[in-house]
Amino acid sequence: MIPVTAASARSDQGSAPPASTASGKGPGRAANGHRAWFLVLPALIPILLLSVGPLLYGIVLAFTDSQAGRTDPTQWIGLLNFQDLLRDTLFWESFRIGLVWAVAVSVPQFLLALGLALLLHQNLRFRWLSRALAIVPWAMPEVVVGIMWRLVYHPDAGLLNETLGTHRDWLGSLSTALPAVVVVGIWARLPQVTVTLLAGLSNVPRELHEAAAMDGAGAWRRFRTVTWPAIRPIALAISALSFIWNVNSFALVYVLTGGGPGGRTRLPMLFAYEEAFRYGQFGYAAAMGCVLVAVVSILLAVHLVARLKGDDDA
């Protein structure tokens, strides 16, 4: 319909219809119709078989008494798993710990990252160093991050005790275990969130910033009226993602504490893992997964609604 110009094609987010050439025979149509299916199938089949399928199967499992190594057929037991979950104080405890953990990691992480991004956006010396260093935690296997912090928190040979001159077992004592793993959680993805926000800052129109400064707007006012509106979409996206990542955390805490001491750091994922692969309670663990999905979906929906509303205001 719309003639494709060089400019519109390059900035185009696909808004031009596929059949954009006059003859309708151009390569824009190369992937049309049955040909598109041919190109899509190699990815679509594994997605359906190994992602969508298991997901639906997982929901079905939540309504059964599926267990490891049972010989009699699996029975459909309706809502029994969910009723058991409601009464399972250990589950609620881990659910509570999971929420505390996700909030305690995500919120400070975001605020720190925002401050750092604003800082690194400035023309400071040594900022190359922080950018270079930031790659390391990002690229590290989570298992190694966990091991590294075990070395830092070690009661005898640890960096923290050495610095403070103490001999505490940070990961092993009831009062400090959760705060200690929260610090690791913040550390692990701080660079990722910072660099993401930094990418968002490159969208901030410099002239607008300068004009606001000329008009005598203070730093806070400039942030609120110029910077924040420009980085808002990326900030909302990364904050939602990091919250979900934290809810689904496993490796970090598994390596650091294994869920202990006394279940103080037993995140929902660790709890479900134990139920499924240590005690073989597949149906019960699947029900747990369903509850987690429901909660995350609700939180995500709230977040998305806030985002859409914000876009309307803009």
Of residues 213-242, which lie at the interface with other proteins (CB under 8 A)? 233-234, 237, 241
122 interacts with other proteins by CB under 8 A: yes
Tokens of 249: 């955390």
For other proteins, what does the binding mask look like between residues 51 and 80, x meaning CB under 8 A?
xxxxx-xxx-x----x--------------
Minimum CB separation of residue 216 from other proteins in Å reads 13
155 vs 162: CA distance, rounded Å:
9
Sole window of 76-84, 101-109, 207-215, 279-287 interacting with other proteins (rule: CB under 8 A): 279-287
Task: Residue 186: count other Cβ atoms within 10 Å of its Cβ.
Answer: 20
Nearest Cα neighbor of 118 from 236, 219, 241, 239 is 219
Contact between 3 and other proteins per CB under 8 A: no
Q: Assess 255 for contact with other proteins (CB under 8 A).
A: yes
Task: Give least dist CB 242 to other proteins, A.
Answer: 11
Contact region with other proteins (CB under 8 A), list: 29-37, 82-90, 207-215, 221-229: 29-37
Binder among 91, 110, 149, 170 for other proteins (CB under 8 A): 149
Query: What x/- string results for residues 154 through 193 when contact with other proteins is judged by CB under 8 A?
Result: x-xx-x--x---------x--------------x--xx--
Task: Work out which of 2, 79, 86, 144 binds other proteins, going by CB under 8 A.
Answer: 144
For other proteins, which stretch binds (CB under 8 A), given 83-91, 208-216, 251-259, 305-313?
251-259
Q: Looking at beta carbons only, is 185 or 268 nearer to other proteins?
A: 268
Residue 43 near other proteins by CB under 8 A: yes
Q: Contact between 107 and other proteins (CB under 8 A)?
A: no
Kindly tell me which residue out of 75, 83, 225, 297 binds other proteins, with binding defined by CB under 8 A: 297
